[in-house]
Structure 1
């Protein structure tokens, strides 16, 4: 990484570049051009070159980018070479699916704890971990050393749970609850609102139909 501040929009595209580079690695490709990589990532080649310049990677004129080296650069920038401890709070259908999807980590994170309040869930085993009682959420977080939390709770309790997580030392929250969470400076929140995303698709579909396309 260079000492330059990386824009949030660039950070949001880095995982896409990482996936594209992994596709190239799987295909046995050693060197790629900005045009080829940009096409795989679904962005313009000029945009890709600007984004990668923030990592100090400029490619070689007439040669392009070394795939393995660039993959290592992007992975390091995203922290994919670390082992970040993650706790999942809310082990309903969504939380259960997320735990199984994230089991084993390998992308810079490792699920270390699961927590829920449901009597039918607490004590059960999901993805090799025993679900712990969220009544002791602070203790769960501290014992596991979790710094990042995935929030899969109902919206009605999301802020309260988020406050408890932050109080226990969590500095990054990925929430699936359909509400805006308030956090202090120094805590990063990423929100995945499936309902809103579907509404956006519905908006574009209505515009397409209205235009007769």
Structure 2
């Protein structure tokens, strides 16, 4: 792997962790995620439109648009589940489970539905992820404790991992039909619409109900996830 690529992956990982730290430490993780996504979408939608115009305004298949909308809905579910997990559990537990579950499911979807092949290094990675998950969860503790109650934070973290794997799989199909930047604009705009609707109705409350500093922190978090 080229050194610049490794560097970009490392930077992306740092930005992603920073975004999750901000989300965990926010007074209301879901509202913070919504404000962050709103700020990032304001930036990415004009870029997506510009990319589409510069590309000669190519036709966008209805199937591709539908996949972008579907991915946006699933990504909104990801933020809802992740926020619920952070309200109930520690970052050191929620984050590894959510991010570790996703690639395992993504591999299963890729191999099972797309017929992709996984090399030796890939299978080694899968085994290491499973081992890490088992060591983190340590299911034998429940057996020794007579069947201790399952931590709801872990349930939400697992749901988050399913959402990540799902929208990743959808995106792999969608970006084959629509230019990636334009597709991203559809996806993010859909995500924001769903999140705003959810927070305003189901979660009950205004999007910008926090103080200026809290809103500013959430907006910076959104730009971090965009960079990641």
**Length-normalised TM-score, structure 2:** 0.25
Structure with bigger strand share is 1
**Length-normalised TM-score, structure 1:** 0.27
Structure ID, larger Rg: 1
